[in-house]
Amino acid sequence: MNRRTREYLKGRFGDYYRSATVSPPPAANEREWGQIPFTEGDGTTMVRHQSLLDVAGGAGDLDDFLAREAPRHAYFSAARYDDPGNRSMSGKGWRSADLVFDLDADHLPGVDPETAGYGEMLAACKEELLNLLDLLETDFGFREEDLSVVFSGGRGYHVHVRDPAVGELDSAARREVVDYVRAVDLDYDGLVEKRPNERGTLQKTLRAEGGWGRRVHDRLVAYADDLRGMSEEDALAELEELDGVGEKTARTIYGVLERNPDGVRAGNVELGPGAGTLVRALAREVVERDTAPIDEPVTTDLRRLIRLPGSVHGGSGLVVRPLERDAVEAFDPLTDAVPERFRDRQILVDVTDPGPVAVGDDKTKVAEGVQSVREYVGVFLMARGRAEKATE
Amino acid sequence: MDPLSARYPFLSSARDAVRGADVDLTELVAAGDPAVDRGRERVERALVEGTTEPETPDAWDDREELLSYPIARILVSLLDSPAAVEKYAGAEARTAHARFTADAERERREGRARTAGEASASDAVGSADSANATRASPDLDTFLREFDLAGTTRAEEGYGGPVPRWFRLGVGSYLRYVDADWGDGWRLVNRELFDGEVRVEREELYRLLREAVRERVAEGLPFEGVDDAVAADLEAEISDLRDLLADRTARVDVSVVAPEQFPPCLARLLDRARAGEELDAVGRFALLSFLAELGLTAAETTELTGLPADEVAGRFGFLRDESGAQYPAPSCETLGAYGLCENEGNHRAVAPHPLSYYAKRVAETDTVTDWRDRAERTDDGRADA
């Protein structure tokens, strides 16, 4: 990135901030602030260990600071401190930290970042985000007002949880949360336990009151309903699809499901010799479907800096967009995170790395050399190092 | 004097009771009050037997029980050793746990007897009364309130009776106290979590409360600034307790590593680890702290035990923290309490602590080749890694 490009981006980021209002996080004055300015070189020198007072002055006006400094990247800490501006981490006096989750499109199972397009990766990432939100809301019971969902401006999504019940958890406890969300070390055999039924007989029962057991139970009930909707022949064929289930086992399972549909609903999995295989197969399916591949270190790090919602991501020119919960489903980052400010003009850029450009409504390819493009396309290319600013 | 405060002297109400009792601990110590003897017994039994229960309960009244607690805290502070704090806090917690468990179980039995004696129609009433859902037993209720758990703990609906079998505990509270080292069954991923609550069985709730007590007791220990006169008056007690502590935390200068000289209990733990068997938290701690004290590095320990490298490294980071304080390997007696030492071959007669046993055996053996210098080390290829 040459000087002309740098100054152009800094100027336009400043213009964006002058017209935008960035809501500070709660307890902004107890958080550490950091930014990476537009400087020569690859621009990775972070200015950190700053309090809100340090960055925004006595009036605490964040918008003013952002408009003035127009940083390339802006961050705040998930943690709250006694003295956030203290130079040493231990001197800051840790109080609590938001529980933060990071989903990164680069690390999705089944998505190859080499071949998948940016848009495709972000779409897959949003599916994982919906899984994560379901776990956080249904299992962890976090309330909508304590959850803040944010498009990261780059390759994924962040979720900040601000429920006081989890703010003081240490790193080991947060790892338990991560492992739950990813189903790491899930004991598949432990999903079933022997419980006395109403006659006092011990029977194999899915632990359906919550956790992964509840999710597997829901799947089993749906699966049994599906089987009952089929002809016997089809149902048996379906069962035999499962690894380790032969014709005889399939008949036993089918027979029990037919005879006692309420048993499965109640969690009873006394389904004969194939029961374990069936439960395990469905459990694997549920785990694959419902887990979210969150980035562990982000959640377990009690002192991490997170990108500021409302700021512009210096590596894409897209807005780090906070999302209302009911807007998540319809959100398209490649259009909805484009700053309004960068939509209207055409600008000239000198493209060094031609090819498809993912952002915007008009998905275009750009050719090498000086081109006139929509401003947000130009900003995107320059921010990613694929173009330099050309003289108008 | 409130008997509850005497039973659980770490409760905030007990602290208030001590303040309200208008006693000067300095004078108490100077006068050699019976509470001082009981305080010494608390620490002594904590170090030796892992309990703070009095040897002869009838010998002490509630006042002495209550006041012995701040005395014990002074003694532990004067001992000024992480091992002493750990053992003491662990013992107070274990003792409290035994007491409120017994209390709740008694309540349960009596409640059941009551129900059985009444009209059988009352069976249906028990479970319907979920308003006082957390009412498990008087002591347990006190504990839930004390540790701010009353608001996040409730009995599961459908389980009636005086002491419910299942509870739902807020996930934040659960994670606050649970330790993943307690076993896979405690891992959140294996729990029934729904709508922000974790399902726990009665005994599991007790276990979590025990951890809350341990944290409470350990908080602020050791404290500084014990009055010089008090320290002087307690000199004899401290000297005795130091000896005991030294016994229990034997430091032995053996730099040679010879697994065949390990005491039978540790040798068995090592064999189990090498066979890929899952050790529980105490077993792992015993084995790793023992090997750490022999001066093995984390990498060597990984190689010797076959335990996962990251786990060993993590444990070693904790065993040898920055302050240089080590968590000493437990004695055979402590291991015995966890079913890990059966005094095989009466080896405690040689020495009561794995380290001192090992030092004696090594000293008695003429030629010992350090395991680290042995050729067979490469047999399974791990030494080359």
Interface probe for A, chosen from B187, B211, B215, B310 (most Cβ of A below 10 Å), is B187
Same structural domain, A127 and A146: yes
Chain-chain contact of B175 with A177 (C-beta, under 8 angstroms): yes
Query: In the predicted model, is pLDDT for residue A282 greater than 90?
Result: yes
pLDDT at residue number B355: 82
The count of structural domains within chain B is 3
> Is A332 labeled as catalytic in the residue annotation?
no
In which element (H, E) is residue A81 found?
strand A79-81
Same structural domain, A172 and A320: yes
Q: Which residue of A has its CA nearest to B166?
A: A209
Same structural domain, A194 and A274: yes
Do residues B283 and B354 touch, judged by C-beta distance below 8 A?
A: no
**B308 touching A, CB under 8 A?**
no
User: Is residue B191 included in any domain, yes or no?
Assistant: yes
Do residues A154 and A144 touch, judged by C-beta distance below 8 A?
A: no
> Rounded to an integer, what distance in angstroms lies between the CA atom of residue B304 and that of residue B295?
13
ipTM of the complex: 0.93
Hey, what are B57's tokens? Answer: 């309960």
What is the mean predicted confidence (pLDDT) over B328-334? Answer: 78
Query: In the predicted model, is pLDDT for residue B383 greater than 50?
Result: no
At a CB cut-off of 8 Å and minimum separation 6, what does B145 contact? none
Query: In the predicted model, is pLDDT for residue B294 greater than 70?
Result: yes
Query: In the predicted model, is pLDDT for residue A368 greater than 90?
Result: yes
Three-state DSSP class for residue B252: coil
**B322 touching A, CB under 8 A?**
no
List, in sequence order, the alpha helices (H) in A100-201.
Answer: 118-134, 164-167, 171-182
Task: Please give the residue range of the domain that contains residue B362.
Answer: 253-373
Same structural domain, B369 and B336: yes
Chain-chain contact of A185 with B199 (C-beta, under 8 angstroms): no
What is the mean predicted confidence (pLDDT) over A347-373? Answer: 88
Hey, what are B42's tokens? Answer: 């608390």
Chain-chain contact of B188 with A138 (C-beta, under 8 angstroms): no
Chain-chain contact of B190 with A211 (C-beta, under 8 angstroms): yes
The count of structural domains within chain A is 3
Task: Sort out which chain A residues have CB atoms less than 8 A from B211's CB and list them.
Answer: none
User: Around Cβ B365, how many Cβ atoms within 10 Å?
Assistant: 12
What is the mean predicted confidence (pLDDT) over A53-65? Answer: 84
Same structural domain, B125 and B196: yes
> Is A104 labeled as catalytic in the residue annotation?
yes
pLDDT at residue number B338: 80
> Rounded to an integer, what distance in angstroms lies between the CA atom of residue A118 and that of residue A123?
9
Average pLDDT of chain A is 92
pLDDT at residue number B161: 58
User: Is residue A170 included in any domain, yes or no?
Assistant: yes
User: Is residue A338 included in any domain, yes or no?
Assistant: no
Same structural domain, A172 and A214: no
Is pLDDT larger for residue B132 or for residue B66?
A: B66
At residue A104, φ and ψ (nearest 5 deg) are -120, 125
What is the mean predicted confidence (pLDDT) over B140-165? Answer: 78
In which element (H, E) is residue B65 found?
helix B62-79
Same structural domain, B174 and B268: no
Same structural domain, B341 and B299: yes
Give CA separation, B110 vs B103, B104, B161, B204, in Å.
Answer: 11, 10, 11, 22
> Rounded to an integer, what distance in angstroms lies between the CA atom of residue A330 and that of residue B2?
62
DSSP tally for chain B: helices H, then strands E: 18, 4
Three-state DSSP class for residue A43: coil
Same structural domain, A167 and A273: no
Same structural domain, B333 and B291: yes
What confidence tens digit (pLDDT) does each residue in A324-345 have?
999 999 999 999 999 999 999 9
> Is A102 labeled as catalytic in the residue annotation?
yes
Please give the single-letter amino acid code of residue B271: D
Question: What does pTM read for this prediction?
Answer: 0.79
User: Around Cβ A234, how many Cβ atoms within 10 Å?
Assistant: 12
Same structural domain, B274 and B156: no
User: Is residue B245 included in any domain, yes or no?
Assistant: no
Same structural domain, A218 and A119: no
Same structural domain, B48 and B144: no
**B183 touching A, CB under 8 A?**
no
Is pLDDT larger for residue B52 or for residue A257?
A: B52
User: Is residue B207 included in any domain, yes or no?
Assistant: yes
**Strand partners for A99:** A161
Confidence of residue B377 (pLDDT cuts 50, 70, 90): low
**B165 touching A, CB under 8 A?**
no
Of B176, B180, B189, the CB nearest to A186: B189
Mind giving me the DSSP string for A336-391? HTS-GGGTS-EEEEEESS-EEE-SSSS-EEE-SEEEEEEHHHHHHHHHTTSEEEPP
Closest to B42 measured CA to CA, from B91, B108, B112, B113: B91
> Rounded to an integer, what distance in angstroms lies between the CA atom of residue A211 and that of residue A192?
12
| Extended beta strands in chain B, E state | 153-155, 166-170, 193-194, 197-201
Of B152, B176, B184, the CB nearest to A169: B176
pLDDT at residue number B381: 35
Instruction: Please tell me the distance in Å from A220's CA to the nearest CA on chain B.
Output: 17
Instruction: Please tell me the distance in Å from A198's CA to the nearest CA on chain B.
Output: 13
Same structural domain, B269 and B315: yes
Of B176, B180, B193, the CB nearest to A211: B193
Q: Per the residue annotation, which of A98, A104, A290, A350 is the catalytic one?
A: A104
Same structural domain, A12 and A136: yes
Is pLDDT larger for residue B242 or for residue A138?
A: A138
pLDDT at residue number A384: 93
Q: Per the residue annotation, which of A61, A295, A301, A336 is the catalytic one?
A: A295
What is the mean predicted confidence (pLDDT) over B18-34? Answer: 88
User: Is residue B385 included in any domain, yes or no?
Assistant: no
Same structural domain, A28 and A134: yes
Chain-chain contact of B176 with A168 (C-beta, under 8 angstroms): yes
Confidence of residue B170 (pLDDT cuts 50, 70, 90): very high
Chain-chain contact of A211 with B194 (C-beta, under 8 angstroms): yes
Same structural domain, A286 and A298: no
**B197 touching A, CB under 8 A?**
yes
User: Is residue A337 included in any domain, yes or no?
Assistant: no
Please give the single-letter amino acid code of residue B93: A
At a CB cut-off of 8 Å and minimum separation 6, what does B326 contact? B289, B292, B293, B319, B320
Query: In the predicted model, is pLDDT for residue B320 greater than 60?
Result: no
Same structural domain, A320 and A347: no
Chain-chain contact of A179 with B188 (C-beta, under 8 angstroms): yes
At a CB cut-off of 8 Å and minimum separation 6, what does B149 contact? B143, B169, B170, B173, B209, B212
Query: In the predicted model, is pLDDT for residue B380 greater than 70?
Result: no
pLDDT at residue number B123: 37
> Rounded to an integer, what distance in angstroms lies between the CA atom of residue A305 and that of residue A312?
16
Task: Please give the residue range of the domain that contains residue A382.
Answer: 343-392
User: Is residue B381 included in any domain, yes or no?
Assistant: no
Same structural domain, B117 and B189: yes
Hey, what are A361's tokens? Answer: 């409504």
Same structural domain, A301 and A281: no
User: Is residue B380 included in any domain, yes or no?
Assistant: no
Give CA separation, B37 vs A167, A300, A378, B18, B339, in Å.
Answer: 43, 46, 81, 17, 31
Query: In the predicted model, is pLDDT for residue B36 greater than 90?
Result: yes
Query: In the predicted model, is pLDDT for residue B301 greater than 60?
Result: yes
Helix B235-248 to helix B82-117 angle (10° resolution) is 90
User: Is residue B9 included in any domain, yes or no?
Assistant: yes
What is the mean predicted confidence (pLDDT) over B323-345? Answer: 74
Give CA separation, A385 vs A2, A8, A193, B100, B242, in Å.
Answer: 10, 14, 56, 66, 67
Chain-chain contact of A184 with B193 (C-beta, under 8 angstroms): no
The percentage of residues in chain A with a pLDDT greater than 70, rounded to a whole number, is 98
CATH code at position A127: 3.90.920.10
What is the mean predicted confidence (pLDDT) over B15-36? Answer: 89
Query: In the predicted model, is pLDDT for residue B135 greater than 80?
Result: no
What confidence tens digit (pLDDT) does each residue in B92-132 have?
999 999 988 888 788 777 765 555 544 333 333 333 333 33
pLDDT at residue number B333: 79
Same structural domain, A255 and A197: yes
